[in-house]
Structures are given as C-alpha cells and as structure tokens.
C-alpha cells in the first residue's frame, strides 16, 4: 500500500496497540486532535481513551509518567511536539529512563519510545526547526533512530516499541508528506542498529541519515554524470548504536568518505563517525574524511527571522556586528539542497 511517512508511523502505532495491551500512546493533543501533525489521528477512536490520551503541556511530566509506567510493565509511546521542547524533559529522557535498569540492579526495564519531530525546511517557527540529535548521542542506554522513508519508519518504530531500552524516534518534519512508497500493511520489523547501503559505489562513501538521504543521492548522481566515478551512499537509520562495521567496510573499499548532517557542525553525528573511521580505517583513506554541515548557529524562523533587523544575538559574526541572517538562512538552504554535499565530494580528492 502506498503511504507517506506520517501514514506509515500511524499504521505502526496501530499495529503495536493491537498486538500488546501494554502499549500506551499519549502526549499533547495526540488523542482527539490526532497530534499537531495528525500522526495519531483516529487511534483514540479505535483503541479508547485509556490507551490513547492527551496530557497537559508539560514535557517533563509526560516523560516522567512514562518512566513510571515502564516500572509497572507498560510500554509507553509518547510524543514531544517538536524537538526544541525536549529540554524540559531532559532529566527523564536522558537520566531516569536510560539508567533505570542499572539503578534497579536489573529489576526494571525502560521500554519507552519517545517520538520527536525534528529538522527544518518546512518554514517553521524558531525552536521548531532544530536538529538536536547530537545532545542525545552521549547517553548510555539510550537508542536514537532517524528513518529516511516510510518503509523504514514503520519497521523501525515497531522495533523501538518492542525494545526493552528507551528509544528516541526522530521524525523529520520535511519527510512527513514528501513522498509515498510501498509499505506492507502487515507487521514487520527492521532491526535497530543496522544501517543500509541505498546506493552502491566504488570510489567514495557518502554517509547520512534522515532528510539528508535524498539530497545526498541527488548529489551522488550529479557527480557520476560529470565524472568517471561511482558513489556509495549509506543511510544510517540508527544513530545510536552506530553500524560502524558496515561503514568501515565501505570506506575500506572506496578509500574516501563524506559525512552529511543537517544538525549544526560541532559535536554531531558527523564528528563521531569521522573519529571512528579514523580509529578503524585510517590506513585505508586516501584523503581526509569530509564533514558537510550547517554553521554553529540558530536555525531561525525562515523569512521572519531575516526581517528581524533589531535582533542582536551573536550568531558567529565578529563581536559588535549584527547577525547576517540572510547568510545563515542561505547556508542552511544550501545544505538542505545538497549543495554542500557536492562540494564536499569534490574536496575529497575526486577532482
């Protein structure tokens, strides 16, 4: 059946709710309204208000209740409306949940799934466009998943709900309605921690995830049309734990690598991947691993941010200078369209 990512996620939630009575879905407006993006639309009518229900506007309470429910044998699936709102729930998401098994000496598990829309390119307001996955990656016991297509979204979400460890399930806003593809209506699972080679190649490895997969594919195809090379593209699918064995095997074959992320440059998944590639495969590299990422600045509110001339927060400009909003918006747009990816491939020695 043809589905977009939003529909695939909704179907995965329906499958999980029907299969296990312990599965609960709750968050802000997820019940009667169906969530801010209508992902959970119709689930409350199917499964009742005891299993799909609304909560107050309190992210710390949402995740705190979820951790408590885990100790009582439930499998809560909660929604945080935008990733910019997770700060209020950091203690529950990054401390209480992931450490539950350790702190209880194995008595309790934390089968908690936190669904979080993230990313830009949809003309959202400030704090609605962020990519904060780098904040999550250094948490022991926490798994982080970021699908790039409807098929993977359904299979990975079902795996997340059935996992006995907490999983942050990242749903890129731009991918909700971007395209449709065939998704089986029956139950299936994609293992967490397994990347996928979405395009095979022999001369360079391009590693990315989420909404950056499609522009990376376009950049690879444009390069191949101009030069006598082939590009291997890897979709990470899971950011923690990383499928580093697949990545190293590809880099060993191609001898070059580029890592692409939408998140700000510093301390992201790209930095971790580059470090691990250098640790495991540096003798196979014929050029430094390139990192394609936006600048370390706020992902603003598109056109409205550009018009805020009186805004004086420093965004990477020299002290005393006003932020160049047009420049920052342009850099993010270039990354979103794959322009930086094409340049990074060129700088990797394929001239």
Annotated catalytic residues are 128
Q: In whole angstroms, what is the distance from residue 37 CA to residue 30 CA?
A: 9
Cα-to-chain-centroid distance, residue 187: 23
Q: Report the sign of the C-alpha dihedral through residues 5, 190, 147, 26, in that order.
A: positive
Give the count of beta carbons closer than 10 Å to the beta carbon of residue 248.
18
Phi then psi dihedrals of residue 58, to 5 deg: -150, 95
Q: 59 with 27: CB under 8 angstroms?
A: no
Cα-to-chain-centroid distance, residue 207: 14
Helix (H) or strand (E) holding 199: strand 196-199
**How crowded is the C-beta side of 69, counted as CA atoms within 13 Å?**
21
């Amino acid at each position: 059946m043809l589905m977009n990512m939003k529909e695939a996620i909704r179907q995965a939630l329906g499958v999980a709710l029907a299969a296990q009575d312990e599965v609960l879905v709750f968050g802000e407006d997820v019940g009667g309204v169906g969530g801010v993006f209508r992902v959970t639309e119709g689930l409350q009518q199917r499964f009742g208000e005891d299993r799909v229900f609304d909560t107050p506007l309190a992210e710390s309470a949402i995740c705190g209740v979820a951790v408590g429910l885990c100790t009582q044998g439930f499998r809560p699936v909660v929604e945080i409306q935008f990733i910019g709102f997770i700060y209020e729930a950091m203690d529950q998401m990054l401390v209480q949940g992931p450490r539950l098994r350790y702190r209880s000496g194995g008595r309790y598990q934390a089968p908690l799934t936190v669904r979080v829309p993230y990313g830009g390119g949809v003309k959202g307001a400030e704090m609605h466009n962020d990519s904060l996955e780098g904040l999550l990656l250094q948490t022991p016991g926490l798994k982080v998943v970021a699908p790039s297509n409807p098929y993977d979204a359904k299979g990975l979400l079902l795996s997340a709900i059935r996992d006995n460890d907490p999983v942050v399930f990242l749903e890129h806003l731009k991918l909700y309605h971007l395209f449709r593809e065939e998704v089986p209506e029956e139950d299936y699972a994609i293992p967490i921690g397994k990347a996928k080679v979405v395009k095979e190649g022999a001369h360079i490895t391009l590693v990315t995830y989420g909404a950056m997969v499609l522009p990376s594919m376009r950049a690879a195809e444009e390069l191949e049309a101009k030069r006598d090379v082939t590009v291997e593209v890897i979709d990470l699918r899971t950011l923690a734990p990383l499928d580093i064995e697949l990545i190293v095997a590809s880099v060993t074959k191609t001898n070059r690598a580029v890592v692409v992320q939408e998140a700000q440059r510093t301390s992201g998944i790209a930095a971790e991947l580059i470090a691990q590639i250098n640790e495991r495969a540096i003798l196979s590299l014929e050029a430094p691993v390139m990192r394609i990422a936006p600048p370390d600045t706020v992902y603003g509110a598109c056109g409205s941010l550009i018009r805020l001339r009186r805004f004086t927060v420093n965004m990477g400009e020299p002290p005393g200078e006003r932020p160049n909003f047009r420049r920052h918006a342009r850099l993010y747009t270039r990354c979103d369209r794959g322009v930086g990816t094409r340049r990074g491939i060129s700088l990797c020695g394929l001239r």
